[in-house]
Amino acid sequence: MINKNNNLLVKLEKTGVYRNNKWLVKDVSLEVNKGKIVTLIGPNGSGKSTTAKIALGLYKDIEGKVEKFTDKIGYVPQKISVDWALPIRVIDFMNLTQDLTNTELNDALTLTGMNHMKHNSLNDLSGGEFQRVLMARAIAKKPELLVLDEPVQGVDFTGEIALYKLIKNISESLKCGILLISHNLHVVMSKTDYVLCLNGHVCCSGTPVAVANDKKYKELFGDDVSKILSIYEHKHDHTHSSDGTIEKK
């Protein structure tokens, strides 16, 4: 395949995943370019993680086409649990898929504020601490593409702000592309280049401003929320039948 656009890292064309008699997600097209942050938002079960996994090439048979133009990928999965039977320290986990120099290791852990715990066992970390380690591991080798699935879940409020700042800094300093899944609409709106609002399919997409003004977005998240922060509620302009097809109201 020929990559006409040098900045293009990954491209999804009308991709969808059909499992157990229903569409997990359908008709998603997106591309992530160097130095850009693309954010996926949407309610639970709307196919955000599935879309991220399509981009990573984790699904074998999918509808549509996915093209990857880089092998240097850092991934922060949504859920990861390590069995007690497996003794593993932060430092072992950091080197899981890569071989880090001491400097790379310390730099990455310092950036996420976890360097003091590198000899601790993963099982002893709290949810938020584990999340920081996941983040440090993903950025340690300076990847070209970062896929972050809810990277700040369980992190305390100040830590959350710091981590989002870090994500922004990384995209600028490493010029890497970031595919971010987030619940935090505030951050999405201030730091993102492109937003896709999912609900089993792409409800609407565009720059944060364009999406915030999009009628479908307002219908999905409610009027107040489109003015950012606060609780969001869902108003759908359509329902989904059991096989995932869309029925307009």
Q: What SS3 state is found at 172?
A: helix
Nearer to another protein, 42 or 74 (CB): 74
Closest approach of Cβ 130 to another protein, in Å? 12
- In the complex, the smallest distance separating the C-beta of residue 75 from another protein, rounded to whole angstroms, is 4
Dihedrals phi, psi of 74, to nearest 5 degrees: -115, 135
Nearer to another protein among residue 11 and residue 201 (C-beta): 11
Cβ closest to another protein, residue 56 vs residue 170: 56
Q: Return the number of the residue (62 or 187) whose C-beta is nearest another protein.
A: 62
Taking the complex as a whole, the smallest distance from the CB of residue 78 to another protein amounts, in Å, to 10
Q: What is the DSSP letter of 152?
A: T
N-terminal to C-terminal alpha carbon distance within the chain: 41
Cβ neighbours of residue 159 under 8 Å, at least 6 residues apart?
Answer: 113, 128, 132, 152
Q: How far is the CB of 133 from another protein (least distance, A)?
A: 12
Could you list the residues that contact another protein (CB under 8 A)?
Answer: 53, 56-58, 71, 73-75, 77, 80, 82-83, 85-89, 92-93, 96-98, 121, 124, 147
State the Cα–Cα distance between residues 143 and 97, nearest whole angstrom.
12
Give the shortest CB-215-to-another protein separation in angstroms.
Answer: 35
* Residue recorded with tokens 């401003």: 209
Nearer Cβ to another protein (149/160):
149
Beta bridge partners of 32: 10
If the CB atoms of residues 149 and 214 are measured against another protein, the closer one turns out to be 149
Nearest distance from C-beta of residue 119 to another protein, angstroms: 9
Nearest approach in angstroms of CB 223 to another protein is 38
Q: By C-beta, is 34 or 53 nearer to another protein?
A: 53
Sign of CA dihedral 201, 203, 205, 208: negative
Contact 42, 197 (CB under 8 A): yes
Provide the CA 195 distance to its chain's centre, in angstroms: 12
Alpha carbon distances (Å) from 122 to 82, 140, 175: 8, 17, 30
**CA dist., res. 30 & res. 229, Å (int):** 25
Cα–Cα distance, 83 to 19 (Å, whole number): 27
